[in-house]
Amino acid sequence: MITLPESIRVFERGWLSSNNVLLTDDNCAALVDTGYATHAPQTLALVQQTLGARPLDLIVNTHLHSDHCGGNALLQAAWPCRTLIPESEADNVRDWNEARLTFRATGQICERFTFSGTIAPGAQLRLGALDWQVLGAPGHDPHSLMLYCASERILISADALWESGFGVIFPELEGESGFAEQQAVLEAIAKLDVRVVIPGHGAPFTNIEQALERAFSRLAWLRGDPARNAKNALKVLIVFRLLDVRAMRFDELLGLLDDAAVMRAAASMLKPRDEWPGLIADLVSELAANNGPLQLDGARVIARQQ
149 CB-near residues (< 8 Å, 6+ apart): 130, 131, 132, 133, 155
Model confidence band, residue 306 (pLDDT cutoffs 50, 70, 90) = low
In this prediction, residue 161 carries a pLDDT of: 98
CATH of domain 8-110+128-224: 3.60.15.10
pLDDT tens profile 40-97? 999 999 999 999 999 999 999 999 999 999 999 999 999 999 999 999 999 999 999 9
User: Do 65 and 104 touch, CB atoms closer than 8 A?
Assistant: no
Q: Tell me how crowded residue 270 is: count the other CB atoms within 10 A of its CB.
A: 17
The DSSP letter of residue 122 is T
**Number of other residues whose CB lies within 10 A of the CB of residue 3:** 10
Give pLDDT, residue 1. 80
- pLDDT tens, residue by residue, 94-136: 999 988 999 999 999 999 999 999 999 999 999 999 999 999 9
